[in-house]
Amino acid sequence: MVGKKSGKALRDEGLERTDNNMELSSWPQIPAINQKNYYTDYLKRDDQNLAFRLQNEEARTKMTKKAKDHDRALAMAKTETAEGEGEADGDAHMEDAEETPAEMAGSKVIVIHMGSQNLRIGLASDALPKTLPMVIARKAATNESEDHDEPKPKRFKHDDGSEMEPEKAFGLEWSSHFNRMSADLKVHMRQNKRRMLPNSKEMVVNYNRRTVPEIISEHNDPMRAEWTELSSPPPEYIVGQPALRVPDSSKPRYKLYWPIRNGWCNEKDYTSKRSLFLDISLIVEDAIKNQLRLTSKKDWTQYSCVFVIPDLYDKSYVTQVLDMLMREFAFARVCFIQESLAATFGAGFTSACVVDIGAQKTSICCVEEGMCIENSRVNLKYGGQDVTETFIKMMLHDHFPYADINLWRRHDFLLAEELKKNICTMNEASVSPQVFDFHLRVAGQDTRKYTFKAFDEVHLAPMGVFEPDIFDNSDKITGRRTLIDRSVDIYDGSPNDPTSAAQSEILTAMAPPLPSHGKTNGESHSAAPDVQATPGRPQHPNALSKVQDLEGTPRSSVAGSPGPENTGTPQAGGTSTPAAAATAAQAPRPPAVEDRDDIMPVFGLDNAILTSIAHASRSDEKKMRDFIGGIMVVGGGSLTSGFHLFLEERLQALRPGFSKEIMIGTPPRDLDPQVVVWKGASIFGKLTGTNDSWIGRLEYDRLGPRLMAYKCMWAY
Ligand SMILES: Nc1ncnc2c1ncn2[C@@H]1O[C@H](COP(=O)(O)OP(=O)(O)OP(=O)(O)O)[C@@H](O)[C@H]1O
């Protein structure tokens, strides 16, 4: 129509062509793709992925080398037969060649398992790891006991500053809890027809009251302790065992730092992430140099490293460790393995419910066919060290003759650990008033020999893992997330650390209610001091019932979506008006329970195990029976005598229907439960051909921590 109009008419309408009839651009114009028929295989094939490509190339190179070796062996066999030398055939030569490999499997793989108290390190070819304390002593103005005006365990004082009588020293609440546990034990022992003297406690208290130490001069003490002598000039830092043996009164003073605390990075005692990881690297480096005798750092490029991480790990921690191992230590390859999975490898089980009781954390996880069941992972913040502290508190309560014991002092901490290991028991038959003795050895002082009596303290302290309110849980989350930020999704900024329905269940049961206006993730941290200020905080009233109804299907409310009582979220189907709904929509969404930093995961061990198993079996009764009959307890905290039987009885009492199936196993072959995880990781490090999780130098240099998504057997 337009073409038939005259030029003037077009000009009047403003439609006249004023250009030079050429296209706007000489670039070819590409029509939009019809999305219906759109297809691309970009990032869909393995060969587009560097990690897979390198892996395949490595496999190809190995196969080619093997084939060449095979040909060479055959050719040699033929030559030898022709020359009439010997009657051996080619296969025998091949076998000979294979039987004498150039180096022992695993001799170039360093396996590292860091704990809150102990570092276990060794070559994968070693039978057992070296164990050393995960501690560093740094030159400082004061030592740690001088820094804490309140000795640990904390004690209450009278208004005039004098110390309270031992029975009141730890507060009324704690004292009545202890007395209640004591009374319960008495009832239980009577039910089990165990003989008990009616006045056992009084006997113990009276004995301890009158005991005075015997002084043994240093030259008469054949077992006197070796203290670390400071060189001149004094070193900036001392690591491992010698650090624990620096006298408290050393000149200059040294302060102890433990970079791992409660199974997390120690964000309480450090002031920066840099110094925290510097200490970790110094401790590990010293161990590699002095324990593994790999003194030249240049040679480390020929070594690979297997590093054990927690089941519920923090992504930012793993990323940082990977960076340290790749850049600072320059290992050729690195791979990670989760603690529980490593424990099953170490014990040679394919499926088990692994309970790892360490020094400051206890983890539980069901493993099935070589994979951790994600929703069964539980991480609780207590362990053997809490038992030590509580044992000393109970003894002090009952007039322990060495009333000045202070666990912030190195020699006292070591003494307390020793006493706990030798005396504590979960065996009810051993609970009776007994006399014990110990030698107190302090640098530069005569040895003092104390005798004391103990009664039910030896049993009630380790029982704390089933009643963890008796532990001092007041500062276990102090400093959390102050140095290391939570890992977040790069697209939507939401937290993306691994979660578990079992852990959420437990956190939900313990969660203090959020302030009604709902805080964001960042703000939630500020709630922590409130919680810390109330030790022995009563649990959520529903805590136990929530867990006890778990035999059936896990409730949907716990799988990452906390219930209304914890979040203040308006309930669907309630009487909310549209206006209220609009207000609710505008209000910031409360953080999911696993994203809150103000909850202490401290929960009775027996219930926690059942929670984990319930989530692993997901109402499949056969699975439930399998896991409940295959509980494996590892970690130093499980070494208390009689622990396994006691745990079995507790679980039977909670699940009478399964009492025949419940079985607590120990690692086979008399393997020390403390090293099972390390052992499993060393086996993992020796696997050839089936381990795809090695991260190589080239790929790390190109892709960085993004590689983890391809290299982890679990969802990263
Ligand atoms: N014979 C024993 N009896 C009782 N407890 C023991 C015994 N031997 C070691 N322990 C305790 O085991 C704990 C150390 O265990 P382990 O080495 O497994 O912990 P970790 O790996 O350093 O710590 P975590 O797992 O908490 O990070 C200490 O609390 C120690 O007192």
Distance (angstroms) between ligand 1 centre and the Cα of 134 equals: 12
Instruction: Report yes or no: 140 and 254 within 8 Å, Cβ to Cβ.
Output: yes
Q: Is 145 helix (H, G, I), strand (E, B) or coil?
A: helix
Atom 19 (ligand 1) nearest CA? 358
Model pLDDT, residue 593: 75
The token duo for 105 is 């499997």
Model pLDDT, residue 576: 43
In 291-338, alpha helices (H): 315-323
pLDDT averaged per 10 residues in sequence order, the chain, 716 residues: 57 66 80 75 76 78 80 79 52 44 81 97 96 96 83 68 80 93 93 86 93 87 85 93 93 95 93 95 96 94 96 93 95 94 93 96 94 95 96 94 92 95 94 94 91 95 95 88 89 89 91 60 37 35 36 35 34 42 56 76 92 93 93 95 94 91 84 95 85 86 84 68
Choosing from 117, 135, 378, 465 the residue with most ligand 1 atoms within 8 A of its CB, the one to mutate for a pocket test is 117
Model pLDDT, residue 98: 46
Please give the C-alpha separations between residue 217 and each of 91, 220, 248, 422, 445, in angstroms, as whole numbers: 71, 5, 20, 25, 8
Distance (angstroms) between ligand 1 centre and the Cα of 47 equals: 46
Sign for the pseudo-dihedral over CA of 677, 679, 685, 690: negative
Q: Which of 382, 409, 478, 69 is nearest to 255 (CA)?
A: 409
Atom of ligand 1 nearest to the CA of 134: 22
Backbone angles phi, psi at 17, to 5 degrees: -70, 125
The token duo for 42 is 């970009």
Atom of ligand 1 nearest to the CA of 421: 3
Distance (angstroms) between ligand 1 centre and the Cα of 522 equals: 34
Distance (angstroms) between ligand 1 centre and the Cα of 636 equals: 3
CA distance 355 to 345: 14
Residue type, 354: V
Atom of ligand 1 nearest to the CA of 260: 27
Q: Which of 423, 450, 486 is nearest to 207 (CA)?
A: 450
Distance (angstroms) between ligand 1 centre and the Cα of 426 equals: 16
Q: How many CB atoms lie within 10 A of CB 522?
A: 11
Atom of ligand 1 nearest to the CA of 360: 26
Atom 10 (ligand 1) nearest CA? 636
Distance (angstroms) between ligand 1 centre and the Cα of 603 equals: 19
Atom of ligand 1 nearest to the CA of 263: 27
Distance (angstroms) between ligand 1 centre and the Cα of 216 equals: 31
Distance (angstroms) between ligand 1 centre and the Cα of 111 equals: 19
Atom 15 (ligand 1) nearest CA? 636
Would you give the DSSP letter of residue 327? Answer: I
Q: Which of 264, 267, 285, 287 is nearest to 276 (CA)?
A: 267
The token duo for 7 is 């030029």
Exposure letters 572-609 (e unless 16+ CB within 10 A, then b):
eeeeeeeeeeeeeeeeeebbbbbbbbbbbbbbbbbbbb
Choosing from 363, 387, 602, 674 the residue with most ligand 1 atoms within 8 A of its CB, the one to mutate for a pocket test is 674
User: Could you tell me whether strands 214-216 and 447-454 are parallel, antiparallel, or unpaired per DSSP bridges?
Assistant: antiparallel
Atom 24 (ligand 1) nearest CA? 358
Model pLDDT, residue 368: 93
Report residues whose beta carbon is within 6 angstroms of any ligand 1 atom: 115-118, 263, 358-361, 383-385, 388, 417, 421, 635-637, 639-640, 674
Atom 21 (ligand 1) nearest CA? 115
Choosing from 112, 118, 262, 360 the residue with most ligand 1 atoms within 8 A of its CB, the one to mutate for a pocket test is 118
Distance (angstroms) between ligand 1 centre and the Cα of 535 equals: 24
The token duo for 106 is 């695993």
Atom of ligand 1 nearest to the CA of 635: 18
Distance (angstroms) between ligand 1 centre and the Cα of 652 equals: 26
Give 378: exposed, middle or buried? Use CB within 10 Å, 0-12, 13-18, 19+.
Answer: buried
Distance (angstroms) between ligand 1 centre and the Cα of 160 equals: 39
Query: What ipTM was predicted for this assembly?
Result: 0.99
Instruction: Report yes or no: 681 and 687 within 8 Å, Cβ to Cβ.
Output: no
Query: Quick one: how many helices (H) and strands (E) in the chain?
Result: 25, 20
